[in-house]
Structure 1
């Protein structure tokens, strides 16, 4: 009989650093490595416990004086798009989404750099090279996919070699209870398309088709304007000290689930 204990993940704590979301705050993170045959299982459990994945690392905030970062997940079966969201779907009815293995391309990186240079010039990812991007996509031991969003070309349904302009890209993990949006980016010049909103709604549709209940959006940071969009998709749950609870726009949690 094999009595060898299953190795448990080792957790580490980062040194304090300047918070990228809130002024006059310092951040710390607790993290572990997602490697080996149990990586997907651990990614599921840790994501459900408020962690996020970056390459082969799972992390969550462990700040000493702040609890503003809150894990958010959309309840896909009950989700109903707003009027403005339905308008986004209509505007993007000419967009085709294709799922690929987690493999980078020059075309993706070109769009990625365009997005960073327009949206995140001073962010922590602003100086990422093509190699850095490739590592971000490929360095995964879990079930990760790249979704490319392109303009539908005439005849593309017959001839798969016809590929329209690449508008947006999502890097997502397929988990036992849904999809986790690890990172996404899009053409910043196409503001009227609201491609960020479109990708989230596409993930809701895909998750619902898989018969799974959740789309994980990462952290909502109360007080950070650039994170405000994450609370637009209802119903959604926030991870609180009491567990996952339905969030209401008033800022109060609803019934515990």
Structure 2
């Protein structure tokens, strides 16, 4: 159940625009601002209610004729990796993720651009400048962290940090009940490593280590192939009219 806030935030509704996931559909979003001393508390409540954060805005779909977007969160305490997930973890055991303050760097932006140009050249973020990227990372009033992943080096056992080139980045909010993965990107040339999956698995590990019950993955869009990966991480809950309910796909097997 969502907790109650002492002050009700103002919500706004966007005009319809073409849906980036389902051809022929139009999306609308309801949004509010995450600013001030209670931004973290508001972000907690709204995320538990199906909202996502982008900079200092919290939003969720409010489409008139479609309900395909469904909020997804992984049940961390019950999660057991599949055989393929264990293979991914083993393959990436030579990577170390360092937790950092939400500060944008030129190195991050270079990897971000490489990722977008290879994976989403025509997407809505394709024309983002370094300033745009810095705002995405730094324009936050909630507890946000940046995880940078690099290869292990000779001194990693002492410093606890990876060395060499940056291979993956995750922008993540820390909530009272979990970790919310806001955005992640990685070196597209390392395709065999399945770095996107590895970042989710590493966040599950981190949440479990911190005693947090959930990892929030944003929206699963039924009918969109690019969002299909989110239901692989079982068990998980989906947010519906009656609240968060356990979901299991009959198509998945371990």
Shorter-normalised TM range? over 0.9
Paired residues, number: 247
Q: CA deviation at 1:161?
A: 8.4
Q: Deviations over 1:182-218 (max 9, x none)?
A: 0000000101110011000000010011111000000
Matches of 2:104 and 2:163 in 1, distance apart?
17
Match of 1:103 in 2: 103
The answer to whether the 8 Å contact 2:152/2:161 transfers is no
Q: What is the correspondence of 1:6-85 to structure 2 with a 5 Å cutoff?
A: 6-85=6-85
Match of 1:156 in 2: 156
Match of 1:254 in 2: none
Match of 2:137 in 1: 137
The answer to whether the 8 Å contact 2:146/2:172 transfers is yes
Q: Deviations over 1:61-110 (max 9, x none)?
A: 00000000000000000000000000001100100110000001110000
Matches of 1:60 and 1:161 in 2, distance apart?
36
Q: CA, structure 1 residues 159+9, in 2 after alignment: closer, same or farther (shift >3 Å)?
A: closer
The answer to whether the 8 Å contact 2:97/2:161 transfers is no
SS in 2 for 1:157: helix
Which moved further from structure 2: 154-163 or 137-146?
154-163
Q: CA, structure 1 residues 13+89, in 2 after alignment: closer, same or farther (shift >3 Å)?
A: same
Q: CA deviation at 1:153?
A: 1.3
Q: CA deviation at 1:157?
A: 3.0
Q: CA deviation at 1:248?
A: 1.3
Matches of 1:156 and 1:169 in 2, distance apart?
18
Match of 1:179 in 2: 179
Structure 1's consecutive aligned runs of 4 or more residues displaced over 4 angstroms after TM superposition are: 159-162
Q: Deviations over 1:211-243 (max 9, x none)?
A: 110000000000000000000000000001111
Matches of 1:161 and 1:172 in 2, distance apart?
19
RMSD: 1.4
The answer to whether the 8 Å contact 2:96/2:162 transfers is no
SS in 1 for 2:124: coil
The answer to whether the 8 Å contact 2:97/2:162 transfers is no
Q: What is the TM-score with the length of structure 1 in the denominator?
A: 0.93
Matches of 1:43 and 1:8 in 2, distance apart?
13
SS in 2 for 1:44: helix
Matches of 1:96 and 1:32 in 2, distance apart?
36
Which moved further from structure 2: 156-165 or 21-30?
156-165
Matches of 1:223 and 1:149 in 2, distance apart?
32
